[in-house]
Amino acid sequence: MVGGAAIGLSGAPTTAAEPTEINRCTSLTEPGEYVLVDDLDAEGDCLTLGPGVTLDGNGHAISGDGSGIGIAFDLGRDEGAVVRDLRIANFAAGASLAFADGEITLADVSITDNAVGVRGGPERRITVRNSVISGNKIGIGTTEGTRLSITETTLSGNTDAAVSTNSGHVTELKRSTVRDNGAGVATGAGTFVDNTVADNDGFGLRLIGLVAPGDLGDATVVGNAIRDNDGPGIEFASSGGDVSGNAIVGNRTGILLSGVADGFGDSTPEYEITGNDIEGNEEFGVRNASAQTAVASCNFWGDPTGPVAAETPAAAPAGDEVDGDVEFVPWSVEPVRGGDPVCFGGQAIGDFERQPTDPDGDGRYEDVDGDGDVDGDDVEAMFANRDDELIRSHPDAFDFSDDGAVDVVDVRKLFNEVSSR
């Protein structure tokens, strides 16, 4: 620590409303509000924060010489500290909770050009919000038991990984951007909602599972754009998970179930992949190399004919390829994200062999019998099967009269359309 324990304080911390001003690297051990009044340059370590300390960087920067720790935290269990509105650059670790207990909050900070942007140890709690973590070797480095929450934050240009772990930890990632890193986010389990995970040189998300509790853990991945990663968009190495409402597009493989650990104790992973747009992925939309069955129904695979797989009912499927034990029937015949799946791909009406199609792309499936033509046979099929479960389950697709119901009026409307051709 540079400067000594108390050097740099313009006055002793008090309970007064005005924060204590800081103008040099030092240790802040007394609870209270502190404000940085100048940029700081450090050789080695710079600031140490104790429990109950809130440091307002006031838009200033602390810069290192490539060694030491920008901000170290000296906290006990259930103790916390807060840093906001600060730039931290060029340290071995920008912020470190590696050798302390407790919880830290980093808000409106920029952490750049460090070996590790934020370093956390076992059972620590780290909250990052409205921040930028970029240009580091590792953006955030965690270990077993760390609980990491990231909200409305950009992690970009971190050469090894945005978030790295040497064991399972739990991550909550919401409304954030993970882009152009060596790899995306590696974690044991967690929740990932409304993020953009794109253009990373390796995986987008990698779920390695948990070990210490004897539970592989689960991940919830909802509403994300996971695009153009030069590896799996999502890899489940050990944990199970629910994946829904995402656009998983243009990755090397959309979703990889690698099956590194197919069971631990009494725990086996379960996979449910529903209501996603999975398309344009280079090798596979979903590849299941695990010993477990993956339920992957009601996804759009890039084409109404469904995914390329030996089990696909369509004669010439043109969607992304599926490999392994994946239950993908029925699939959505239209893109899903932002709406409800039109989920009857691979299913037929009545005794017909093929799914209905929408030849003119208007969202109405006039080719009721699935033979590729719209003609009198479809009128007869619609009349005879207007109470079929497939039609009743997807009324918008067969409401040709656009009156909100499926009945003989729609048969008459389809007849008139065929007759006018």
Question: pLDDT per residue over 229-245, tens digit each?
Answer: 999 999 998 878 899 99
Q: How confident is the model at residue 267 (pLDDT cuts 50, 70, 90)?
A: low
- Does pLDDT of 376 surpass 90? yes
Lowest mean pLDDT among 208-212, 248-252, 289-293, 356-360: 208-212
Would you state the structure tokens that stand for residue 222, as one six-digit string?
A: 């909802």
Distance of CA 203 to the CA centre of its chain: 11
Which pLDDT does position 101 carry in this prediction?
72
CA dist 20 and 159 (Å) reads 37
| pLDDT, greater one: 215 or 334 | 334
List C-alpha distances in Å: 329 to 17, 325, 355.
64, 12, 12
Lowest mean pLDDT among 205-214, 311-320, 333-342, 362-371: 205-214
Q: How confident is the model at residue 214 (pLDDT cuts 50, 70, 90)?
A: low
Q: How confident is the model at residue 280 (pLDDT cuts 50, 70, 90)?
A: very high
Contact criterion met (CB below 8 Å) for 50 and 28: yes
Q: Tens of pLDDT along 304-350?
A: 999 999 888 888 899 999 999 999 999 999 999 877 889 999 999 99
From start to end of 213-358, where are the E strands? 218-222, 225-227, 232-236, 240-244, 247-249, 253-257, 271-274, 277-279, 284-288, 294-295, 322-323, 326-327, 331-332, 343-345
CA dist 25 and 71 (Å) reads 9
Q: Is residue 56 classed as helix, strand or coil in its secondary structure?
A: strand
Identity of the residue numbered 5: A
Which pLDDT does position 374 carry in this prediction?
96
Contact criterion met (CB below 8 Å) for 109 and 80: no
CA dist 342 and 33 (Å) reads 55
Q: Tens of pLDDT along 179-188?
A: 999 999 999 8
Average pLDDT score, the chain: 90
- Does pLDDT of 9 surpass 60? no
- Between the CA atoms of 32, 35, 41 and 45, what dihedral angle is there, to the nearest 10 degrees? 10
CA dist 275 and 257 (Å) reads 18
Q: Tens of pLDDT along 22-50?
A: 999 999 999 999 999 999 999 999 999 99
From start to end of 289-349, where are the E strands? 294-295, 322-323, 326-327, 331-332, 343-345
What are the φ and ψ backbone dihedral angles of 392, each rounded to 5 degrees?
-65, -30
Would you state the structure tokens that stand for residue 397, as one six-digit string?
A: 């697709």
**Using the 8-state DSSP alphabet, how is residue 15 labeled?**
S
Contact criterion met (CB below 8 Å) for 398 and 411: no
CA dist 96 and 89 (Å) reads 13
Q: How confident is the model at residue 65 (pLDDT cuts 50, 70, 90)?
A: very high
What mean pLDDT do residues 278-297 have? 95
Q: How confident is the model at residue 211 (pLDDT cuts 50, 70, 90)?
A: low
C-alpha Rg value of the chain to the nearest Å: 27
Query: Comparing C-alpha atoms, which of 259, 296, 257, 292 is closest to residue 278?
Result: 296
Partnered with residue 383 across adjacent β-strands are none
